[in-house]
Amino acid sequence: MFHSPTKSRQEFTPTQPLAVSTSVSIQASPFARTCQASHLLSRVLRHVNDRDTDHELRYQEAIQLHRTVEALSSTVLNESRELIERASNITAQLPLFTAMGLCYSALLNLYDLYSCVEGEDNHRVGAPDQVEMQKIAIAGTKEVSRAVFRFSRSVRAVAELGGLLKTSPLIANCLYQAAVNYLLYIRETYRQECMPMVLEIKDLLEVLGTRWESPSK
């Protein structure tokens, strides 16, 4: 899992704007997208580790973070498809893999915090903003885990065509989180239809482990 350093209240406030350096609607290079994704991931990690901010403001910021990271991830995914079409080659998307993986990691870390009410103050449980964010988190965990599984297949296809050496280890976190989410679903529902996804992701982590040390067990 990613972890953020300890911070003071002065370093971060929930009203701080979440604008990235370049609008997601403007064409940008893969490096710029990676910088944007890194910035948003850092904001999510600070939010996850914040214990001082008023609950109402935290829920408002969580919703804003969700929308901002989701917008960037959609942009990166669309740009990946455009690169493939332009080059008629699936390896053309490789430069955007890191940005995509960081976006997915940011969303999954955020959703993990709000998908259940355990640890919440009793007086906030059932409040409109708490309920809204919990619904976003539950639906988002499922949606992003599916997106990561599709992403894992793209990474595997590119790796098989010689792209492994250029694949960043920063994508491993979202793969690991998605696999864990599938395993939790299997444990809670006793339904095995997600096991093939777990095995495919695990297999990719093992492939990445031949180049980078990644969690595959």
Q: Which two tokens stand for residue 116?
A: 């259940």
What average pLDDT does range 93-115 have in this prediction?
Answer: 97
Examine residue 216 and state whether it is found in any structural domain, yes or no.
no
Examine residue 100 and state whether it is found in any structural domain, yes or no.
yes
Alpha helices in 5-127 (DSSP H): 30-49, 55-87, 97-114
Confidence tier at 128 by pLDDT (50, 70, 90): confident
At residue 4, does pLDDT exceed 90? no
Examine residue 203 and state whether it is found in any structural domain, yes or no.
no
The pLDDT value given to residue 119: 58
- pTM of the predicted model as reported, rounded to 2 decimal places: 0.86
Based on the structure, what is the number of domains in the chain? 1
**Identity of the amino acid at 73:** S
Contact assessment for residue 82 and residue 112, using Cβ atoms and an 8 Å cutoff: no
Query: How far apart are the two ends of the chain, measured CA to CA in Å?
Result: 14
Confidence tier at 29 by pLDDT (50, 70, 90): very high
The three-point CA angle 38-172-142 to 5° equals 85
The pLDDT value given to residue 26: 79
The pLDDT value given to residue 212: 82
The pLDDT value given to residue 190: 92
Q: Which domain holds residue 45?
A: 25-161
Examine residue 190 and state whether it is found in any structural domain, yes or no.
no
Radius of gyration of the chain from its Cα atoms, rounded to whole angstroms: 18
What average pLDDT does range 107-118 have in this prediction?
Answer: 91
